Amino acid sequence: MLATSETKKDREFCFTDRDFEAVRKRLYDHAGISLNDSKRDLVYSRLSRRLRALRIGSFGAYLRLLDSAQGESELVHFINALTTNLTAFFREPHHFDYLAEEALPEALRRHEHDRRVRFWSAGCSTGEEPYSMAMIVRENLPPRQCWDLKILATDLDSNVVAKAAGGQYTAERISGISRARAHKWFHRVQGADRVQVDPALRELITFKQLNLMHDWPMRGPFDLIFCRNVVIYFDKPTQRRLFERYADILVDGGYLFLGHSESMYRLTDRFELVGRTIYRKVY
């Protein structure tokens, strides 16, 4: 999701309206993210760091680099710089209650014949969401039964995907988790105020960098998708296209979870609302 930043009064680099419009267009074209005028100072602050790191003297030169054959690798840094990832374990807890009580049991019943269940955390950030999903799965799978249940976790930002895959967090990050869960699923890192996610959770999850605006290498079908606090940064036509693609890759009756301020209102008729920002694909 898009970050916020304080206005910087004394600017090191010239940053014109044309530069800002060029940045907005590139971010929209490559990531589907719409920047409004209030983000101008944020853009300057975040991209100025890239100019310094690359020893480039102007935004015009930086934009030319992005458009060049040599700029492909810098495009990743460009997108990473303009996005940030606010998340927490069991954020919006009613979603995880619904996962435990309704969506997961439904998926298990649906797949009694093949025992193959697939979930997707689309916009996984630093991993708190998919690891929360994995805790629910581990705590609610039937005992002594073998299930092929996997969670795909993707994000646009390659840096946070790498952090998520490592599965290490400061001890403070798990302070909101119950003591029993923290003891069961996290282990202290010796000599550091950090914890490591238990291997039983990590083995359920595959972390990948993915731009939702590009082609998707996976074919599905998925039984459930979490895409929370992601589409709020897209314009309505982009949201509509994304919801259609989610419907295409979900099983009939599969679930799509959105963030607390997101809605499908008047964008698609392929889902029905079944709970607070919880949607079910219609048959």
Domain end point (choices 81, 106, 133): 81
- Considering the domain architecture, whether residues 118 and 49 belong to the same structural domain is answered as no
pLDDT digit string (tens) for 31-82?
Answer: 888 888 888 998 999 999 999 999 999 999 999 999 998 888 898 889 888 8
- Give residue 46's domain range: 17-81
Point out the domain boundary residue: 81, 104, 134.
81
Tokens of 150: 């996997």
Residues 75 and 102 in one domain: no
What 3-state class would DSSP assign to 62?
A: helix
pLDDT digits (tens, 9 = 90+) for 169-199: 999 999 889 999 999 999 999 888 999 999 9
Read off the CATH number of the domain in which 154 is found. 3.40.50.150
Instruction: State how beta strands 278-281 and 250-257 pair.
Output: antiparallel
Q: Which two tokens stand for residue 67?
A: 């458009």
If one counts every other C-beta atom within 10 angstroms of the C-beta of residue 79, the result is: 18
Do 161 and 258 share a domain, yes or no? Answer: yes
Same domain membership, residue 270 and residue 227:
yes
155 in catalytic set: yes
Is 103 in the same domain as 69? Answer: no
**Which CATH number does the domain housing residue 73 bear?**
1.10.155.10
3-class state of residue 48 by DSSP: helix
Same structural domain for residues 38 and 143?
A: no
Could you tell me if 81 and 50 are in contact, meaning their C-beta atoms sit under 8 angstroms apart?
A: yes
Separation CA 26–CA 6 (nearest Å): 23
> What pLDDT does 261 receive?
86
Does residue 43 sit in the same domain as residue 131?
no
Last residue within a domain, chosen from 59, 81, 103: 81
Same domain, 77 and 106: no
Given the residues 19, 24, 40, 46, the one annotated as active site: 46
- Overall pTM surpassing 0.75 (yes/no): yes
Q: Is residue 193 in some structural domain?
A: no
Give dist(CA 153, CA 250) in Å, integer.
15
Is 188 within the bounds of a domain?
no
**Active-site residue among 155, 157, 202, 223?**
155
Query: Which neighbouring-strand residues pair with 187?
Result: 196
Do 124 and 54 fall into the same domain? Answer: no
Total number of domains in the chain: 2
* Structure confidence by residue, pLDDT tens digits, 112-158: 999 999 999 999 999 999 999 999 999 999 887 899 999 999 999 99
212-220: Cβ within 8 A, 24+ apart: 212/32, 212/122, 212/123, 212/154, 212/156, 212/242, 213/30, 213/31, 213/32, 213/238, 216/245, 216/249, 218/152, 218/249, 219/249, 220/118, 220/249, 220/250, 220/251
Rg (CA), the chain: 20
Are residues 106 and 59 both part of a single domain? no
Nearest to 254 by CA among 214, 212, 226: 226
Verify that 212 and 263 share a domain, yes or no.
Answer: yes
Is 41 part of the annotated catalytic residue set? no
**Within-domain flag for 177:** no
